Amino acid sequence: MHGVFRGLLLALLAASLAPATPLLAQQSPDNFHWIDFHAKPDQDTVVWVTRSLDPEKWSAIREIGVEYDAALVVTTLRKTPQTPPALDSFSIWTASLTNHSITLLLTGTNLRLLDWMLFAVGRPRDLGALYDDCNECDASTFLTAFYYDVRSHNWAARWMRGNQAIPLSSANAPQGVTSAQAYAVLADPNGHEVVGTWNHLDYGKAKAPEDYVYQYDVDPSNDLERTQVLSGKSAEAMKRRICVGSDAVTGLARGQDSPLCQAKIQSPRGTARKPSN
């Protein structure tokens, strides 16, 4: 049966929706607020969203965030009453507060809502999130961000391809290939943030290793996501920036102590040597 089990889920929120490590709190957009499920002024919104979600499959509404005329909604789905809460899947929706329309943005597991992030100077901050693609498996981890789209009057998720956003770590290396990965959310002095990822593929004796270096941010001129494949000096600069990690956002960096990054930092010419096993 559908229901809004807000009071019963407070303990679970700490485990599944909290950041992996504390982040410095950033100001949310002026017109955004999280719904208080117990506050009388918010009851109309709770009822509206619940009715909008009625045709969908979910077990509980976990969060509702409202900006202007649209709600960002987090629901969870439990397979059976005996399934442990840690194995819940989640779905995130955008719900219109004018016509009851609702659109699924993504589904996944182990959702961790982050802080408000500045991917484009001069634009409102986006709500960052990490999530995995499966439970009880070698999961891949992705980063996305949610924002209110003034053109469509709906919430949207950035860098999405199906249910996959920015790939931060993957457990699915091709057979016979050793994969090493490092990433960081990097903050410029003006607060602008970019996501840098480095995936190093070692084919052993079959062929030379390959590096895939990406930078992700938002174009301030049109508020659209950018995905840039870096090469040459730009790629080397991003590798070093990821590995040094001095301007990485707290809790949003990984691989800096790996052999891949240590070889990069210690190399006098800035070119990573082959990581030792």
Contacts of 202 (CB under 8 A, 6+ apart): 177, 178, 179, 180, 209, 274, 275
Whether this prediction's pTM lies above 0.75 is answered by yes
Query: How far is the CA of 223 from the CAs of 148, 162, 197, in angstroms?
Result: 11, 20, 21
Q: Tens-digit pLDDT profile for the chain (277 aa)?
A: 344 433 333 333 333 333 333 344 677 888 999 999 999 999 999 999 999 999 999 999 999 999 999 999 999 999 999 999 999 999 999 999 999 999 999 999 999 999 999 999 999 999 999 999 999 888 999 999 999 999 999 999 999 999 999 999 987 777 788 999 999 999 999 999 999 999 999 998 889 999 999 999 999 999 999 999 999 999 999 999 999 999 999 999 999 999 999 998 886 554 554 554 4
Residue type, 192: H
- Give, for 157, the enclosing helix (H) or strand (E): strand 154-157
User: What are the residues whose beta carbons fall under 8 Å from the beta carbon of 185, sequence distance 6 or more?
Assistant: 117, 128, 143, 193, 194, 195, 196, 248, 249, 252, 253
